[in-house]
Structure 1
Amino acid sequence: MKEVYNFVQQHRNMLNIVIVYTKEEHASDEWSLPNNYDIATHRVLKDRLKASEIFKNEFSYWFETSTNGFVTHLLMDNMSDEMAVDFNSTPDRLFLVDNTNMKIVYRSIAGPFGALKTKPLIPILQKLR
């Protein structure tokens, strides 16, 4: 996440940031990881909202508009996990959308390994200028 944050800081005048919180990939009642948060599978929207607040607190630097110079929007997937399924976005994935036509111009590999690399975005942003 820090690499993406630094990239956004560098190119903030060209980017609108949206983070979509989807299902909990390593839920404590399913496939938990050591040293992970104790977040169970979201059963109702209130569970997902609570988990997204934990995310927002953990990565609060993304949401400190006065210090980071950009606005980050945090959205949540619905309880049918449509976003996670349609975009194969779990556990994490990076997308770049051209805001002139709302088309995806970059889609990283599905995470967790290598999904949040920003180097491939540089030539794409240069073309969009």
Structure 2
Amino acid sequence: MLHSPGVHTLQLLTQAAACILLFPRFLLTAVMLWLLDFLCIRKKMLTMPTAEEVAGASEEPPPDDPPVCVSDSNRMFTLESLKAVWHGQKLDFFKSAHVGSLAPNPEVIQLDGQKRLRILDFVSGKRSFQRLASHFVDIADFLLVYIEEAHPSDGWVSSDAAYNIPKHQCLQDRLRAAELMREGAPDCPLAVDTMDNASSAAYGAYFERLYIIQEEKVMYQGGRGPEGYKISELRTWLDQYKTSLQSPSTVVIQV
């Protein structure tokens, strides 16, 4: 396949422009990570719950958006953390998913490692997504897509990570890791991103992200996790949508 020199030059210029636009945000994030390595600052911004708070919270339903907590043993400002932040910000910049636009439909892989589907193939079927889905099971289908690890054991390591998972070197590595995710959410439909990270790139999903797709269009786009991952916003959108369906002023016409 022949590639035009002009196309190659345009790609280089696009990458260079992206670097220039992203650098201020990246620099700000890097400074924040550096400051968070000072425990006095971390304790004010990212406080781990005490045993008493955990015990008290166990008597109430968990909040949709628990606070972001980081243990004192975790280093925030490292080469691996900066690489992860830059990678996530570039994916966000170049993503093709935007509110009001057609939803990207990249290929995903089922956990048997054999069957390949596309994200929008999950629009109908069994509806479940833990506590949130049980409330909206009548109006929405839910899907979890497992993507590349945000904190692999051989990358930006986090002692708060629930599992010790290295970077995925092949599809089988990713499928095995996804099985651990299914154990934590056994009733949720789960698919796995391809090894070229097509879904993560299309939706700017790294580290984690929430979307609502309706009639193949992106209707809601959450912020980038962890700080922008707001289940409460998702609940509010679905609540409002459910109310609109029940409103007497809502008329559905079939022609």
Whole-Å separation in 2 of the counterparts to 1:57 and 1:28: 20
The alpha-carbon deviation at position 2 of structure 1 amounts to 7.3
How many aligned positions are there?
Answer: 117
**Aligned-residue identity in percent:** 23
Structure with more relative contact order (C-alpha pairs < 8 Å, separation 6 or more): 1
Of residues 217, 238, 242, the one that matches 1:103 is 217
SS at match of 1:48: helix
Whole-Å separation in 2 of the counterparts to 1:18 and 1:128: 22
Provide the alpha-carbon RMSD of the alignment: 2.1
Note if contact 2:130-2:185 (Cα within 8 Å) is conserved in structure 1: no
Of residues 231, 241, 245, the one that matches 1:117 is 231
Match of 1:20 in 2: 145
The two structures have a TM-score, normalised by structure 1, of 0.80
The ranges of structure 1 where at least 4 consecutive aligned residues each deviate by more than 2 angstroms after the TM superposition are: 1-7, 116-120, 122-129
The two structures have a TM-score, normalised by structure 2, of 0.42
* Structure number with larger C-alpha Rg: 2
Whole-Å separation in 1 of the counterparts to 2:165 and 2:196: 18
Whole-Å separation in 2 of the counterparts to 1:105 and 1:79: 27
Which structure has the highest strand share of the two? Answer: 1
Of residues 161, 172, 175, the one that matches 1:49 is 175
Whole-Å separation in 2 of the counterparts to 1:108 and 1:2: 17
The unaligned stretches of length 5 or more in structure 2 are 1-61, 65-128, 247-255
Distance 1:81 1:89, change over 3 A: same
The alpha-carbon deviation at position 11 of structure 1 amounts to 1.0
The unaligned stretches of length 5 or more in structure 1 are 64-71
Note if contact 1:7-1:118 (Cα within 8 Å) is conserved in structure 2: no
Distance 1:75 1:46, change over 3 A: same
